[in-house]
């Protein structure tokens, strides 16, 4: 039977636990799992199960209200910077002391709580305090990509729920179930790196195969002139701009849906529209980085293929093949360095230009 948990594919263990917990909840839960394991979806589904009188039927008004993120008793804390600030956690604490308007709980959702232990003035102590003095009808739902030792005291106040990263087969199966063509679903799933939402975007993306081909053509097209390197960097940057179009379209559709739902529920506008738009922007930034990382993987695969070719084709004294193997190995090193720089918030144009110039030598 379909309920709020049906859409959480590949998470049977966590779903079974959530069904039990929803019947007899405690004050705080900590959801952990890798990027793309649908942490946010899992939290919202569980929140619906907590509020719904039937533990998450997926059909009643309460379930709909929660899943469309319009339940006034659910507060999703917003973070302005790269780590959680103390005043942001105090605001969450203030709201956690409100009495719920409905017959369910006051729910406070705080995502990426590992970011309470980082930054110049870590805010974990403020969060810990809220968890120690939670009012009876309040439930905290926290998420973390992983649980570092610095988070141990917070984790010890929560019931932990671990989600799994999704494999390409899980993702492809789900995409097909959602109506995608089998071939498109497979290639989107393998390009999504375990991230279901990215896969859903890529499956709408007719240009995906072309972008893979573009990255793989780089070694062939670099001819030793800086002008060609610069042109390739520009061309790839332009493809990145185009790659983001399906995501923007998906976000537009989501916003339209929220507007329609708010209207149906008699509200004049979407209550947290600004927050949603900020979240969309963050998602676009993250998407570009994922897309770039994916391109670098395609490029590595191309150099790897060249290396294998060189190895297979070479006799013992074939100097040219030997040179090719050595050059491909060095190129792979350069690409992997670029991939590392990607994690440190580097300027995208600069990264692409540097990369093409360095690869020119091989
Ligand atoms: Zn329901």
Mean pLDDT of all residues in the chain?
A: 90
**Cross-strand pairs, 74:** 107
Residue 197 sits in the same domain as residue 84: no
The secondary structure of residue 149, as a DSSP letter, is G
Residue 142 sits in the same domain as residue 200: no
Over the stretch 262-309, which tens digit does the pLDDT of each residue have? 888 788 888 778 888 888 888 888 888 889 988 999 999 999 998 888
Residue 212 sits in the same domain as residue 342: yes
- Work out the average pLDDT over 342-354: 87
Q: How many Å lie between the centroid of ligand 1 and the Cα of residue 1?
A: 13
Q: How many Å lie between the centroid of ligand 1 and the Cα of residue 49?
A: 7
Q: How many Å lie between the centroid of ligand 1 and the Cα of residue 360?
A: 59
SS3 342: helix
- What are the φ and ψ backbone dihedral angles of 52, each rounded to 5 degrees? -70, 135
Distance CA 161, CA 120 (A): 29
Would 108 be classed as within a structural domain?
yes
Task: Calculate what percentage of the chain has a pLDDT beyond 70.
Answer: 98
Q: Which whole-number Å values give the CA distances from 142 to 31, 43, 249, in the listed order?
A: 6, 8, 29
- The pLDDT, as a whole number, for residue 257 is 87
Over the stretch 146-172, which tens digit does the pLDDT of each residue have? 898 989 999 999 999 999 888 899 899
Which contacts qualify for 323-331: CB closer than 8 Å, 24 or more apart? 327/362, 328/303, 328/304, 328/362, 329/303, 330/361, 330/362, 331/219, 331/303, 331/359, 331/362
Distance CA 196, CA 174 (A): 9
Q: How many Å lie between the centroid of ligand 1 and the Cα of residue 195?
A: 28
Distance CA 280, CA 299 (A): 28
Distance CA 134, CA 29 (A): 12
Would 147 be classed as within a structural domain?
yes
Give the residue numbers spanning the domain of 151. Answer: 12-165
Q: How many Å lie between the centroid of ligand 1 and the Cα of residue 22?
A: 12
Q: How many Å lie between the centroid of ligand 1 and the Cα of residue 132?
A: 30
Residues 6+ apart with CB under 8 A from 148: 114, 117
Q: How many CB atoms lie within 10 A of CB 61?
A: 9
CATH of the domain at 50: 3.40.50.300
Residue 21 sits in the same domain as residue 156: yes
Q: How many Å lie between the centroid of ligand 1 and the Cα of residue 48?
A: 7
Residue 176 sits in the same domain as residue 236: no
Q: How many Å lie between the centroid of ligand 1 and the Cα of residue 179?
A: 26
Q: Which of 156, 178, 204 is the last residue of a domain?
A: 204
Q: How many Å lie between the centroid of ligand 1 and the Cα of residue 271?
A: 22
- In DSSP notation, 221-241 reads H--S-HHHHHHHHHHHHHHHH
What's the alpha-carbon Rg for the chain, to the nearest Å? 24
Would 1 be classed as within a structural domain?
no
State in Å, rounded, how far the first CA of the chain is from the last one.
Answer: 57
**CA 230 from centre of chain:** 31
**CA 319 from centre of chain:** 46
Would 3 be classed as within a structural domain?
no
Residues 6+ apart with CB under 8 A from 118: 82, 83
Over the stretch 64-123, which tens digit does the pLDDT of each residue have? 999 988 899 999 998 877 789 999 999 999 999 999 999 999 999 999 999 998 877 889
Over the stretch 249-262, which tens digit does the pLDDT of each residue have? 989 998 998 888 88
Residue 175 sits in the same domain as residue 99: no
Cβ neighbourhood burial of 176 (10 Å; 0-12, 13-18, 19+) = middle
Predicted confidence band of residue 316 (pLDDT cuts 50, 70, 90): low
Q: How many Å lie between the centroid of ligand 1 and the Cα of residue 21?
A: 16
Would 86 be classed as within a structural domain?
yes
Q: How many Å lie between the centroid of ligand 1 and the Cα of residue 156?
A: 30
**Which residue is it, tokens 């670099």?**
222
SS3 108: strand
pTM of the model: 0.68
Q: How many Å lie between the centroid of ligand 1 and the Cα of residue 47?
A: 11
Number of structural domains found in the chain = 3
Distance CA 73, CA 62 (A): 11
Q: How many Å lie between the centroid of ligand 1 and the Cα of residue 159?
A: 23
């Amino acid at each position: 039977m379909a309920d709020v948990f049906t859409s959480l594919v590949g998470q049977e263990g966590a779903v079974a636990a959530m069904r039990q917990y929803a019947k007899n909840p405690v004050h705080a839960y900590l959801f952990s799992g890798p990027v793309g394991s649908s942490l946010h979806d899992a939290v919202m589904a569980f929140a619906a199960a907590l509020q719904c009188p039937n533990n998450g039927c997926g059909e009643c008004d309460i379930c709909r209200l929660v899943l469309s993120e319009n339940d006034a008793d659910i507060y999703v804390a917003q973070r302005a910077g790269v780590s959680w600030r103390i005043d942001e956690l105090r605001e969450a604490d203030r709201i956690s002391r409100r009495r719920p308007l409905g017959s369910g709980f006051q729910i406070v959702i705080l995502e990426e709580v590992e970011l309470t232990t980082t930054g110049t003035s870590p805010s974990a102590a403020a969060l810990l305090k809220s968890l120690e003095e939670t009012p009876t009808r309040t439930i905290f739902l926290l998420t973390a990509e992983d649980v570092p030792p610095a988070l141990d005291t917070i984790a010890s106040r929560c019931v932990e729920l671990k989600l799994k990263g999704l494999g390409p087969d899980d993702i492809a199966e789900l995409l097909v179930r959602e109506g995608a063509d089998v071939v498109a679903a497979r290639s989107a799933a393998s390009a999504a790196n375990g991230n279901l939402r990215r896969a859903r975007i890529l499956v709408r993306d007719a240009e995906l195969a072309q972008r893979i081909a573009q990255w793989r053509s780089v070694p062939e097209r670099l001819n030793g002139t800086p002008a060609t390197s610069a042109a390739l960097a520009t061309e790839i940057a332009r493809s990145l701009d185009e790659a983001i179009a399906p995501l923007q379209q998906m976000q537009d559709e989501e916003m339209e849906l929220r507007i329609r739902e708010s209207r149906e529920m008699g509200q004049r506008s979407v209550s947290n529209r600004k927050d949603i738009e900020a979240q969309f922007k963050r998602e676009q930034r993250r998407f570009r980085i994922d897309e770039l990382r994916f391109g670098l993987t395609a490029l590595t695969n191309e150099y790897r293929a060249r290396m294998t070719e060189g190895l297979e084709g070479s006799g013992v004294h074939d100097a040219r093949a030997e040179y090719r193997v050595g050059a491909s190995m060095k190129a792979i090193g350069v690409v992997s360095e670029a991939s590392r720089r990607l994690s440190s918030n580097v300027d995208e144009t600069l990264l692409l230009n540097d990369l093409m110039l360095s690869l020119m030598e091989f």
